[in-house]
Amino acid sequence: MSDHRKEVSLLDALIPLTSLIILLSSSVYFFGEDSSYGANQIALLVCSCIAGIIGLKNGYTWIQLEEGIIKGISTAMGAILILLTVGALIGTWIQAGIVPTMIYFGMMLLSPDWFYAASCIICAIIALSIGSSWTVAGTIGIGLIGVAAGLGLSVEITAGAIISGAYFGDKMSPLSDSTNLAPAVTGTELFEHIRHMTWTTTPSLIIALIIFVIIGLNSEVTGDASAMEEKLALLQQHFYISPLLLTPLGLVLFMAIKKVPALVTIFAGALVGGVFGATFQSESIIAAVNKPELHNAAALLQGTWDVIANGFTSNTGNAEVDDLLSRGGMSSMLVTVWLIITAMTFGAVMETTGLLQRIAKSILSVVHSTGSLIAATVATCIGTNIFTADQYIAIVLPGRMFKLEYQKRGLDPKNLSRVLEDSGTITSPLVPWNTCGAFMAGTLGVPTLAYLPYAFFNLINPVISIIYGYTGFKLVKIKD
């Protein structure tokens, strides 16, 4: 069958790409921040059909397309399962008083002037120690979002600070999957790769922190002191607040440091949260279940079971606090799962039919200087994040494509591994339908396009990488 396939033209490759841009732009125009609740999914499916029709025209069979789609979706199953467990964790941690405790102490200890920069630094340190941006966002991140809302600060800027710090730590940690993957693809030693990344990553973080400090010092806090006191009182009234409730957070971070798989770590954290809820918040759980005929133990089991599935509903009487704490549950992640499945379908069809490779070939044809090679690598990684919706593919595919070209130009492989991380790893949470972007939006409760302008580290890092490429600064040649 392969002998009858037609060569993929650039026009073939550009049709689904152009269609995607038009439909996603229309989706955002019509539905705004709600576009991820169905409109984007439909756009991705329609563009998958367009790419599939072009593939059939070029000699591919439906069976080949279907196998490619199944394979593409299967690569995202790990992310989907983690998303569901994060939903469970958020629900049980709110019910148990873990998140309210983080919010309570955060509101008391963190200064509004330095809050954004402090959030970035906290997330960077923890992500550096555990190597997982997702775990940081799903634990510390949800607490910081709550603190920001309690203090009357911008949750969008806070989400940008959390993601900036989390991805700095993830990128620079030897425990991170992406940090190990990039040098493996290019043939670079791990710690040599990390040392080389400091030249682009550290300045990016410093610039981001300066911006967060400036914003913090010049921002107006919308909440007054009396409103904050009211929120603190409500948290104490409706939850048992104690540093002891931070134990599950310590457990999750310890398991992450020990490299226990993320799925196991987060679900264990959710179950421990359920136990803590039944132990420390038993009265409120029994009251919420409201079934006097049930034994207390049965009511606690039902209440915990329900919050794992459907999340926690807050009834403090304060609209801001209730909106903040009514979250979580596996069901809350189903729209995000839908988005990931449709995005992976589009990426799989594009890759299976050779349309993605044709676009990459066209990019290589305009590469002449070292600077343009670096810029092309960055553009390809960002494009792959957009079209395949997966961070790992955005590292592996461009890595394979450009490896030989870097060798031809006498550039050490660690230059390529650094650029892959500067663009492939860093920009993944900035794409709404990418697994990372969908995860961050679903976990933090802030739409991707709302936090994107404030994810300064993620926006600055690729630019600095390109500047280094054109200036030749810290580009290492292959040693004889």
Average pLDDT of the chain to the nearest whole number? 90
Reported confidence tier of residue 222, pLDDT bands at 50, 70, 90:
low
Q: Is the pLDDT of residue 346 over 60?
A: yes
Q: What is the dihedral of CA 206, 141, 320, 34, to 10 degrees?
A: 90
pLDDT of residue 129: 82
Residue listed under structure tokens 């040693």 = 479
Rg over alpha carbons for the chain, rounded to the nearest Å, is 23
In this predicted structure, what is the pLDDT of residue 3? 56
Predicted pLDDT at 454: 97
Q: What pLDDT score does 262 carry?
A: 83
- Please give the Cα distance from 196 to 43 (Å, whole number): 40
Segment 235-277, tens digit of pLDDT: 999 999 999 999 999 999 898 888 888 889 999 999 999 999 9
pLDDT at position 176 over 90: no
How far from 54 is each of 14, 42, 327, 334, 347, CA to CA, in Å? 11, 19, 42, 30, 14
Q: Count other Cβ atoms within 10 Å, centred on residue 223.
A: 17
In terms of Cβ atoms closer than 10 Å to its own Cβ (0-12, 13-18, 19+), residue 288 is middle
Which tens digit of pLDDT belongs to each residue from 134-167? 889 988 999 999 999 888 899 999 999 999 999 9
Q: How confident is the model at residue 5 (pLDDT cuts 50, 70, 90)?
A: confident
Q: Between 224 and 37, where is the model more confident?
A: 37
Q: How far apart are the C-alpha atoms of 447 and 455, rounded to whole Å?
A: 12
Q: Are 126 and 112 in contact (CB under 8 A)?
A: no
With a CB cutoff of 8 Å and minimum separation 6, the contacts of 233 are: none
Q: For position 48, what pLDDT does the model report?
A: 94
**Is-above-0.85 flag for pTM?**
no
The average pLDDT across 385-390 equals: 85
Determine how many CB atoms are found less than 10 A away from the CB of residue 372.
16
The pLDDT > 90 percentage for the chain reads 57
Which residues pair with residue 477 across a beta bridge? 411
Structure tokens at 45: 């499916």
420 confidence band (pLDDT: 50, 70, 90): very high
Per-residue pLDDT tens over the stretch 265-320: 999 999 999 999 999 999 999 999 999 988 999 999 999 999 999 999 998 888 88
Task: State residue 1's pLDDT score.
Answer: 44
Alpha helix (H) ranges present in 239-365?
Answer: 247-257, 262-280, 282-289, 296-310, 319-325, 334-352, 355-365
CA angle 171, 177, 178 (to 5 degrees): 50
Confidence of residue 480 (pLDDT cuts 50, 70, 90): low
Highest mean pLDDT: which range of 99-113, 198-212, 399-413: 198-212
Q: What was the pLDDT predicted at 472? A: 92
Cα gap 50→62, rounded to integer Å: 13
Contacts of 318 (CB under 8 A, 6+ apart): 230, 231, 234
Summarised one tens digit per residue, pLDDT across range 95-132 is 999 999 999 998 888 888 899 999 999 999 999 888 88
- pLDDT tens-place string over residues 356-377: 888 878 888 888 899 999 999 9
